[in-house]
Amino acid sequence: MTTDHTRRRTGLRAAAAVSLLAGSLAVGIPAAQADTGPNGRATLEGTAPEWTAAASDAGATAGSTQVSARVYLAGRDTQGLTAYASAVSDPSSPSYGRYLTPEQAEARFGATPQQIAAVTAWLKSSGLTVTGGDRHYLAVTGDAAAVQKAFAAPLHDYRKDGRTYHAPAHAASTPRELADAVLTVTGLDDSPRRAKPQDTLPGPGDGFRNAGPFSTSYGSNVASTLPDAYGGKVPYAVRGYTGKQLRAAYGAGGFTGKGVTVAITDAYASPTMAADAAEYARRNGDQPYRKGQYTEVLPASYNSVEDCGASGWYGEESLDVEAVHALAPDADIVYVAGASCNDPDLLDALNKIVDSRLADIVSNSWGDIEANETPETAAAYDRTFKLGAIEGIGFYFSSGDDGDNVAAHGKKQIDTPANSAWVTAVGGTSLAVGKGDRYQFETGWGTEKANLSADGKSWTDFPGAYTSGAGGGTSSTVKQPFYQRGVVPDSLAKANGPTRMRTTPDIAAVADPNTGFLVGQTQAWPDGTVSYDEYRIGGTSLAAPVIAGVQALAQQARHFPIGFANPGIYARYGSPLYHDVTDHPLGADRDLAVARVDFVNGVDAADGLRTSVRTLGKDSSLQAVRGYDDVTGVGTPAPGYVASYALPFFRR
């Protein structure tokens, strides 16, 4: 999430990688089946973290050190689950759309009572205590000695970034007879943080307001008194687009999302969300919420409140809920809160949706860089995504807000879970909606910022330093899925070597906070008061719920769940159903920018104003070009996209 001040997408969680089978859609291999280790044990691939190679080994962890872990269950027929998830999602398959109910999915692919009993007995016999779990995993606790006995992997202490963490000295394993029952184990590595029990959430976070002047539509208010940029005067940034403008830009037509349920996952839960959403709709001409249209599924308690910056997630939740309703005003919205920003809790939230089929479409505006991914957690995520696919549930993830990630993290890479081949990665654009809500153009989202000089006659160091942009690029871990073949050029797919790899994003929508969305939220102000106010916001955290809203419209047109959307999204590639977004929509020699005026203190003019010029279409090393690109994917929805789902089958 990116606003007009220094906030970025909040609460980035420790994320996960993806294991693959060559030539298939990304497949989370049940790690215990991948290799046979010493003494006939089955190795759990990916459970020895890569970061330990560069860390300092401080020797064996004390045997009395307490460890909490999750042993994820592989269930029945893991390869069959992958095959079925692919078939029901592929428009060219005879099994397309033949979804299962959660009960059917559990009966066909869930863990058997015998598997659960065998895994439980093994863990207990090793000295571990099974403290809980569900159909997906068993939670265990015990000391390091019991961990070593169970998984045949000694724990060592490692010095990293000035702190000491414990992790397996080599990959964990299970008894050979449990190879088909255990998917993976997580939690043996305690880097980077542990959850801290806490049951209460903080109040609203610090307030923020935009200063203005603004444009009401793109280009409606030209900054005539400010210096030229790119050879001419530039317009002021919009105050913030609303649902009416975005519905027009992306061809909503008469569709409203009726009969469709969209789930939103984030960490924590704003205590004022329902009231804020209702007030936002009232102020901005959106349809009022009917009784029961917005619901929440909350955990029994929360943890890691300080580590995750809990109140910072409230704005993320506000953005997601209000954007979905603005695009799809008749769709039901269920907000499913994670107990923290950590993987186990976010995965629990996703599993709640799948286990009870709470929604058709799931919008997720959170992620982390691929360098922080761990294969064992990825296997757990991918199993959830595949179970969702066979039930007709589609998952949408923001692609990131730091472009190629070099400026922010020092290495060119993409975000995760957007890198999973089982989710729809949503990239970002800068959007121009003109008078009469007419779509003018889009560029890829990428911002360079230059401030106004002290004498007001020039821009300092124009075009300025790179600040943010849509995430995208080529995965280092996930092979190219079938739906990207023939669409993603090899110059991108093979950017990291001779093997074609997963490239993101898949599709895109407005993300630039300089052409962003108006959001409403209860906030805390410097004078001690707490009240509702509105401000402009952006990031691919905006693009994800916008696309989720568009897909709700498309599902209404289809009268049947879309499910995992990527095969259908790529089937429409190259057609007029997409805006083919480029960085120079007005000509190769025409660069674009907008002017912005901000409060120095983020609230009022007491400490003065700061004026800057922000470029459009300057996304680090990434470029939006004709055809598929690593900023906007296949493009953004154009008029006709939504209605095309009314066709029984769409083929390029």
CA Rg, the chain, in Å? 24
* DSSP alpha helix (H) spans, 11-136: 78-89, 102-109, 113-125
Among 136, 149, 181, residue whose Cα is nearest residue 42? 181
The residue assigned the tokens 């990630």 is 405
Beta carbons within 10 angstroms of residue 211's beta carbon: 18
Buried b (16+ CB within 10 A) or exposed e, 266-295: bbbbbebbeebbbbbbeebebeebeeebbe
CA–centroid distance for 476 within its chain: 18
The residue type of 99 is Y
Dist CA 361 CA 460 (whole Å): 45
Phi-psi region of 623 (alpha: psi -120 to 50; beta: other; left: phi over 0): beta
Q: At what angle do helices 540-558 and 312-327 cross, to 10 degrees?
A: 30
Dist CA 212 CA 205 (whole Å): 22
Q: At what angle do helices 273-284 and 312-327 cross, to 10 degrees?
A: 40
Buried b (16+ CB within 10 A) or exposed e, 82-99: bbbbbbbbbbeeeebbeb
Q: By CB neighbour count within 10 A (0-12 exposed, 13-18 middle, 19+ buried), where does 608 fall?
A: exposed
Dist CA 650 CA 652 (whole Å): 7
| pLDDT value of position 579 | 98
DSSP state letters, 442-475: EEE-EEEEEEBPTTSSSBTTTT-EEEEE---EEE
Q: What is the mean pLDDT of each run of 10 residues along the chain (652 residues)?
A: 38 27 33 53 88 86 94 95 96 94 97 96 97 96 96 92 90 94 92 45 82 96 97 97 97 98 97 97 97 97 92 94 98 97 95 98 95 88 98 97 95 96 98 97 98 96 96 96 97 98 98 96 95 95 97 97 97 97 96 97 96 97 98 98 84 52
Among 333, 319, 334, 405, residue whose Cα is nearest residue 367? 405
Which residue segments constitute the domains of the chain, with CATH numbers given? Answer: 31-198 (no CATH), 212-644 (3.40.50.200)
Does the reported pTM lie above 0.75? Answer: yes
Q: What is the dihedral of CA 475, 477, 479, 484, to 10 degrees?
A: -20
- Give every CB contact of residue 443 below 8 A, 6+ residues apart in sequence: 429, 430, 581, 582, 583, 584, 585, 592, 616, 617, 624
